[in-house]
Structure 1
Amino acid sequence: MNENLFASFTTPTLMGFPIVILIIMFPNILFPSPRRLINNRLISFQHWLIQLILNQLMAMHSTKGRTWSLMLISLIMFIGSTNLLGLLPHSFTPTTQLSMNLAMAIPLWAGTVILGFRHKTKTSLAHFLPQGTPTPLIPVLVIIETISLFIQPLALAVRLTANITAGHLLMHLIGAATLALSSINALTALITFIILTLLTILEFAVAMIQAYVFTLLVSLYLHDNT
């Protein structure tokens, strides 16, 4: 029987209903809440890490930009946790779906652009036409800058989708090869298993890095518009 390589990227269902909402809500139990009155080392480490990331993201922002701090830290925690939970066996990674990533990228990008046109109208319009542009090139540059502006949310979503999907697919292929080689050549199977282990460790790093990159780019868009 031929195996569908992309079966792990389909949304699981329960009695015909998609359970992606439950999967997305599941990471909430991993983070500290006011109901937990007694801190342990895990919660203290989470607080320290959140504060460190927040300081790095907000260091370049003005007072107006720092009002987005809760939004940005929630975004990186959500993407990072869903990426990590997607590495568990028999689990589903919502960030492998382009539709979901676009649903995150477009409103955030639109919010930064609207904020820029509202508070820095002249500066935002000036981005479409660099100073000193020759007159014959003005229409072409305006079109190019407009396209580059509207392609930003698509680039955000595609980057996250492609990196997470490629890593999961590679793990799936190497895992299937290891299982097939286990009954043929034990030494080769051991080598592929070691490669699979190293790739899994790399995917844990990629899961966190992609969450940081996505949030950092949104933060840069916000910085350009505040």
Structure 2
Amino acid sequence: MMTNLFTQFSIPTIMGLSLLPITLFYPLMLINLSQKRLKSSRLITLTSWLTKNIIKYLMPTSTSPTHKWTPILTSLILLILTINILGMLPYTFTPTTQLSLTLSLALPLWLGTVLTGLRTQPTKTMAHLLPLGTPIPLIPILIVVETISLIIRPLALGVRLTANLTAGHLLLQLISTTSLTTTMIFPSLTLMPTITLMLFTILEIAVAMIQAYVFTLLLILYLQENS
């Protein structure tokens, strides 16, 4: 029995060995390598369809220089989506509820967008730190504020993903515990908590998909700003 509500976010272990590496590399095991045959498997067909739709709905609004980032962004959204969905299964661990993982994804990608802007068009990139028509006395203050807002972006990306998934998992744990307790004490009232748990599970799956989309979409917006 869980002694702490946050125990579900601790890294699972077997015989004292951490299962975090296996959990992180498990999505890679789902990748089916192409084989020399005329017909593709259902998994390859589904993956190709999903990849084409991601590119179709994410990249049309972006400019042509950002199209070079399409493979990275597609792999990113598929990775986060797979990890989030697998984390909804019973007795599993969701790595994206850990800031160590989300920040390690957000920081290099955000830094890549900034360095891309500084390399291709440094004047336009630096101009974002000072809006046009700013009064002279406010120039130092605005530069400091815009610099802080720029630096805090990767932290906001990582914390947003972690906080939403953590809050959803906590609520799901509370509802499931309530459903179990109600079933044991008042069997006649089992239906209502069970339906609530099923509906919230569907909502949490939708949140897991939306958060993967939002994380990638914000990176695309940062990339457009610097390209």
Q: Same fold (TM over 0.5)?
A: yes
Does the 8 A contact of 1:60 with 1:223 survive in 2?
no
- The one-letter amino acid paired with 2:75 is S
Structure 1: gaps (5+ residues):
none
> CA separation of 1:36/1:149 partners in 2, compared to 1, >3 Å: closer, same or farther?
farther
Distance 1:120 1:54 in 2: 25
Could you say what secondary structure the match of 2:64 adopts? coil
Q: TM-score, normalised by structure 2?
A: 0.94
**Pairs within 5 Å for 1:1-226:** 3-35=3-35, 37=37, 38-226=39-227
Tell me, in whole angstroms, the C-alpha distance in 2 between the residues paired with 1:70 and 1:179: 44
Amino acid at match of 1:189: T
Residue deviations 1:139-166, cap 9 Å, x none? 1111110011011101100110011111
Which string of whole-angstrom CA distances, capped at 9 and with x for unpartnered residues, describes residues 98-132 of structure 1?
Answer: 11100100000001001111111000111011111
**Structure 2 unpaired stretches of 5+:** none
Q: Which amino acid aligns with 1:175?
A: S
User: What amino acid does structure 2 have at the position aligned with 1:58?
Assistant: M
**1:197 match: secondary structure:** helix
* Deviation per residue, 1:63-85 (Å, 9 max, x gap): 33111111101100100000000
Seen in structure 2, the aligned counterparts of structure 1 residues 144 and 198 have a Cα distance that, compared at 3 Å, is same
| Residue correspondences, number | 226
